[in-house]
Amino acid sequence: MSLFCIRLLLCFCLVTWSLPSRAAAQEVALADQPDIIETPPVVVSATKTEIPVKQVTSAVEVITGEQMQQRKVKTVAEALRWAQGLAVFQSGGSGTQVDVRMRGGTPEQTLVLIDGAIVNNAALGTYNFADLTTDNIERIEILRGNQSMLWGSDAMGGVINITTKRGRDTPNISGFSEYGSFNTIREGASLSGKKGPVDFSGSISRWDTAGISSINYRRGAPERDGYHNWQGSVRLGVELPKDGRLEFSFRWLNGIVNFDGFALTGDPADVLGAGSKTNQYVYAGNYTQPITSWWSQKLSLARATDSLLSHSGTVERNVVTGVTGAVSPFNMFNSDLSTTSNRIEWQHNFQLGKPLMVTAGYQFREQLGENKDLLNPAFSIPNKTVSSHAGFTEAQLNLWDRLFGTAGVRQDEYNVFGSATTYRVTGGYLHRETGTKMRGSYATGFRAPTINQLFFPDFGNPNLKPEKSQGLDIALDQTLFDDRVELSAGYFWTQYRELILSVFDPGTCSPPFFFCAQNIGLSRAKGFEGSAKFKLVRDQMWIRSLDLRFQYTYTHTDNLANNVGGRLPKWPLNQWSIILSYQPIEGLRANLEGRFVGQRYNDVANNQSISSFNVWNFSATYDVNRHIQVYTRVDNISNAKYEEVLFFGTPVRSVFGGVRLNFDVPL
């Protein structure tokens, strides 16, 4: 019998032998303690105020840091893969580009915030999730649908709001070390806690891996593309008199990755020496203070900077023809892209009696970018700025904790194209006796053109207008058996218009390529979203807990631009995921998770089909004692052969194992 099995058997015997004495001790302890009041989970991003989940009238999902730690998920991108309504695809192994789409939208139409700082790249419009790990993250809120009324540009598809952990309770120090497939090494340490009015949370980690080939090795690309990651984060808060709070947060991400590309003929190529180095810094400060019993305010200042150095390598091997040679001059690049996003927001909340809250605010947003082409300076973009001033107001209605609604409007004024007006209306009814909630929303959205789309030499168009959208959703949420079962089903519809596309137009666009950005795109997305959460078993012999989570998304997209027809690229019709969590005894937990992604197309013309796939992962944790935890994770346990992005590789079966130490600090 293995040492692990013997340890489990001994733990079971000790637990069984000590049940009577523990029960008696717990009864005495509980008799001396006040009643514990469980605080209901809240959501912030849906209204920019804390609101209980049961009162939310928007389509929202919350992933907690505890859930990610239980499943030993390394990156935020991996956590998002199992979320509802998202399409998350990576162009190769660890560290390569990760795009996240919502409800038929593009990556540029998903707004991403870290502690209130907008991290979408000012020049490209997207946020690359490749370098963001789950270390020191408290929660991820995923808000689906048009959200520009509260959040402004880039929120046409939805919002992903990421929050760093807040120090709580006794100061605690922890560390972990992990090793696994592809010579992967991960290490990290963290310190968090609260002492008096001050709370603190900080972490630092490193991640090194030999990786896999970015172009799929099954297509003949044997060279591994390595990845190196450093990451640090801090969140410091101070409780002020009269319920005020001042806090500061900081996150630093550093990533170095090798990647592959394409030959001049368009065939995938194994490229030697191609890579990039990125440095991201995210700063945020918040000051909240009640003014009166019915009036409170919050002032937020945030900045995100991103420096990306990229080079195309020196030698390429066409994996179709086998021809090896120098990288074609048309494919060579050596660029230095630097961007900054600044955000200032001053928000006021007015509680006008019990049923009505009015939120009003002002936001200044500034995006700066510079792109240096070190090989061809003529294609460089000098320092450019896109800035806006915005005012918004929203009313929240709560009648008898049963009838809920919101209505709001926003006005943005930009320095490059003028103004944009958006609005949003939501409503919901909760029948508390049966746990039934009906909800729905209708909203408009917009996305400002990026710095590249406006100013890139021989491509940018300074006359571009913002992309626009309108959409609705309706849903039914149901809880049963004292919230042990949670069900949800809904329908959504969104139309995107004046989309910015790259167009071949010799009459309008500049030589030598005659391609430029124009507002000619039109598309539509509609579909169904369904989810179920079951607390199947509690406190039975060898089943301390057994939980099941399932979600399904059907997304039908139509490309309506210039009668092109067909589905939008990268969007599957069907997706589902499932997570089964089993805890046989205290301290031991196992998770089985599966994900299915249906067939989709790589191109606008729908000529390049990408096959459907399903992937299964397994993870387990065992608490040796209150200070030591050992864990393992196996990704792609069936060794499935698949591609998320056409031609690009995905890992084979991968095994990782590690240990985590955790100690209180007597301060």
Q: Which of 229-233, 372-376, 519-523 has the highest mean pLDDT?
A: 229-233
Helix, strand, coil percent content, the chain, rounded in steps of 5: 10, 55, 30
Q: 124 — phi, psi (to 5°)?
A: -100, -25
At residue 210, what are phi and psi to the nearest 5 degrees? Answer: -70, -25
For residue range 359-374, list pLDDT tens digits in order.
Answer: 999 999 999 999 998 8
Burial of 86 (0-12, 13-18, 19+ CB in 10 A): buried
Residue 39: per-residue pLDDT: 53
- Whether the predicted pLDDT of 264 surpasses 50: yes
Per the model's pLDDT, the better-predicted residue between 588 and 564 turns out to be: 588
Closest CA to 228 of 279, 173, 170, 190: 279
Please state, in angstroms and as integers, the Cα–Cα distance from residue 579 to each residue in 67, 73, 74, following that order: 11, 13, 16
For 145, the enclosing helix (H) or strand (E) is none
CATH number of 53-180+192-664: 2.40.170.20
Q: Angle at CA 132, nearest 5°, toward 594 and 185?
A: 80
For 401, the 3-state DSSP assignment is coil
Res 246 pLDDT > 80: yes
Element (H, E) at 24: helix 19-31
476 pairs with which residues across the strands? 438, 489
- Please give the average per-residue pLDDT across 337-348, as a whole number: 96
Question: What DSSP assignment string belongs to 494-552?
Answer: EEEEEEEEEEE-TTTSPTTT-EEEEEEEEEEEEEEEEEEEEEEEEEETTEEEEEEEEEE
Structure tokens of 540? Answer: 């039975």
437-488: pLDDT as tens digits? 999 999 999 999 999 999 998 888 999 999 999 999 999 999 999 999 999 9
Q: Average pLDDT of 506-522? A: 84
Among 578, 582, 586, 647, residue whose Cα is nearest residue 615: 578
Residue 5: pLDDT over 60: no
C-alpha span between 88 and 85 (Å, rounded): 10
412 burial via Cβ count (<10 Å: 0-12, 13-18, 19+): buried
Omega before 512 within 30 of 0, i.e. cis? yes
**Quick one: CA torsion of 142, 145, 146, 150, rounded to 10 degrees?**
-30
CA distance 536 to 552: 20
The better pLDDT of the pair 293, 1 is held by 293
Residue 109 has what pLDDT? 95
Asked whether residue 25 carries a pLDDT value surpassing 80, the answer given is: no
Predicted confidence at residue 665, as pLDDT, reads 86
The pLDDT of 114-128, averaged and rounded, is 95
User: What residue ranges do the domains of the chain occupy?
Assistant: 53-180+192-664
Q: Where are the alpha helices (DSSP H) in 426-468?
A: 451-455
Residue type, 410: R
| Predicted local distance difference test score (pLDDT) of residue 17 | 33
Q: Are 169 and 193 in contact (CB under 8 A)?
A: yes
pLDDT digits (tens, 9 = 90+) for 593-647: 999 999 999 999 899 999 999 999 999 999 999 999 999 999 999 999 999 999 9
Length of the chain in residues, anyone?
667
Distance, CA of 293 to CA of 616 (rounded, Å): 52
Pick from 141, 248, 255, 238: nearest CA to 202? 248
**What's this model's pTM, rounded to 2 decimal places?**
0.91
CA angle 469–474–480, rounded 5-degree value = 145
Per-residue DSSP letters for 90-110? ESSSTTS-EEEEETT--GGGE
The rounded distance, in Å, linking the Cα atoms of 16 and 326 is: 69
Residue 189: pLDDT above 80?
A: yes
Contact 142, 157 (CB under 8 A): no
Confidence of residue 40 (pLDDT cuts 50, 70, 90): low
Q: Which amino acid is at 423?
A: Y
pLDDT digits over 73-87, tens only?
999 999 999 999 999
- Quick count: other Cβ atoms within 10 Å of Cβ 246? 15
Nearest to 146 by CA among 49, 53, 59: 59
Q: What is the mean pLDDT of the chain?
A: 90
Does 35 have pLDDT greater than 70? no
